[in-house]
Amino acid sequence: MNSYHSEPKFNNPCDAFTSTQRFFILAIVCLAGILSPLSSFMYTPALPALAQSIGVPISKINLTVTVYLVFGAISPFVWSSISEVYGRRLVYAVTLLVTMASSLGLCFTQSFAVVLALRALHAIGCSSARAIGSGVIRDVVPVQIRGGYMGFYSAGVGAGAAFGPVLGGILAQYSSWHGIFYCLAALSSFTFTCVILFFPETLRGRMNSESPRFLQPPIRILCPRNSHISPVASADEVPNRNKINLLGPFGILRYPDVLCILLVMGVCYLAWQDNIVAATSIYSTDYHLDEAKIGLTYLSNGVGGLLGNIVIGKVLDRAYEQQRLIESALGDTESEPHSRKNSVSTENSDPTPDRKLIFIEKARLRSLAYSIPAFALCIFAFAALIQAGTHIAFPIILSFWIGWWNSFILAPSATLMIDLFENSASIASATMNLVQGIFGAVGSATIALMIGKLNVWWSFFLLGCLCLLVLPLTFVQRAIGLRCRKKREDISN
């Protein structure tokens, strides 16, 4: 019997991937996503050694950091938009090739101009991977378990921020600054090989026969069987992708519900970034730590964020299931009026676990009601301990919890953005990266001035209060979310 007729079809294209396939796909996107934080955090401890090696002042070397941040903020707009039209696999292959080539170039150069140019190229190559990875998770993971996968993905990518400074400091001290880029070249080459050999196309509409054979992996163990995917379901899920929309991230910013959650996320990220930046100078001046020991202190915040991302993923899945049961129990009382008008809720009469929620915001943002106050409390405590001149162990312990609660804020925000813009998940993720970059840059540029004009306690007290000030926006978002989604869908239809 022909296998086409003997194999089941799935209404949801995500179901064409097995849990084992999803695990290995997640592993590959984590490898690609970790390159950007590694490239940034490994590079920072080597700045003095780089300045001495190529014979330029540290002020010029700092330009390489600025260039990296600028191109790292812009390039996700381009690559995420391309990935929504031509697919994830092709964009991964091109960007990893650019990352590998620029890393190899940085391994051998001793010219400041070349370093500046290659760092820009490096950012163009690796900074888009996180946004594209969010799109991949949307492609292969059903919504009811998406929170857990987003948690593990954030943890995998966050490992670069946790261990990058330590690894970069060791390589810079015991080899040279070139050793950092030998490491990045090896990792990007390995990831490129995995993508070429194994990584399937996951974009809806291109994961079937629509994808040219030469763009498909030669080893197809991670590919869904073509016959597994219902053509009707695919047609309903796939949006019209005729052209690349480079302004897509800016278009997302005009929606009130999106602005609410992005503002909350951005302010809390600003407070976290200020804590990271200020801690370096505080540990150096107040506790007289050298660069290697300062790098080790980053482990506390990084490990807290890594573990927090894993836990919040499970919390999100549980909250989704609780909200599903609530909506199922209410039945037609709340669901029926919306199901006729809202494509998000067309399956509300279906009690199965994979149906989409009407009030997805309640499931995703529920944890922010306690995580933002807990995060602000940790910021207050960190500043009080520093101001009181306590033993260094106490602020390091607080750094763990700051990283933990920061992940409890960022991961739900990222998951909700994918839920709200499923047909352009990579673009939505790129928008989040833009907001984080803007708020992070503002925080990095102003925290030293704040501490100079005020002091550590009052600076971080104001930042913590700012986090509490935006907390009501999460309740506003939950109140207006459904109405804003319906309005977007009416316009698109």
Task: Indicate the SS3 state at residue 193.
Answer: helix
Q: Where are the alpha helices (DSSP H) in 109-176?
A: 112-126, 129-140, 146-174
What value does the mean pLDDT take over residues 285-299?
77
Cα dihedral 461→378→262→423 (10° resolution):
170
297-330 confidence digits (pLDDT tens): 888 888 888 889 889 888 888 888 888 888 888 7
End-to-end alpha carbon distance in the chain: 42
| DSSP 8-state class, residue 352 | S
Residue 242 main-chain phi, psi, to 5 deg: -90, -20
Mean of the per-residue pLDDT values of the chain:
80
Answer whether 447's CB lies under 8 Å from 278's CB.
yes
pLDDT, tens digit (0-9, with 9 covering 90-100), for 320-359 = 888 888 888 876 444 444 444 444 443 343 444 555 778 8
Give the start-to-end residue ranges of the domains of the chain: 7-236, 281-492
Q: With left for phi above 0 and alpha for psi between -120 and 50, is residue 243 left, alpha or beta?
A: beta
**Do residues 87 and 204 make contact, with C-beta atoms less than 8 angstroms apart?**
no
pLDDT greater than 50 at residue 2: no
Beta-carbon contacts of residue 269 (< 8 Å; ≥ 6 apart): 406, 410, 435, 436, 439, 440, 443
Mean pLDDT for the stretch of residues 132-147 = 85
Beta strands in 135-284 (DSSP E): none
Rounded to an integer, what distance in angstroms lies between the CA atom of residue 325 and that of residue 332?
A: 13
CATH 1.20.1250.20 corresponds to the domain 7-236: yes
Does position 149 have pLDDT exceeding 80, yes or no? yes
Q: Would you tell me how many other CB atoms lie within 10 Å of the CB of residue 465?
A: 13
Q: Distance (Å, rounded) from C-alpha 279 to C-alpha 394? A: 13
Residue 265 has pLDDT above 60, yes or no: yes
| Predicted confidence (pLDDT) at residue 230 exceeds the cutoff of 50 | no
The owner of tokens 């799935």 is 10
Which pTM does this prediction carry?
0.77
203-213 pLDDT, tens digit each: 877 665 555 66
In the structure encoding, which two tokens stand for residue 13, read together? 């294209």
> CA angle 41-79-14, nearest 5°?
100
Q: Any bridge partners for residue 10, and if so which?
A: 229
Instruction: Give Cα 154 to chain centroid, integer Å.
Output: 6
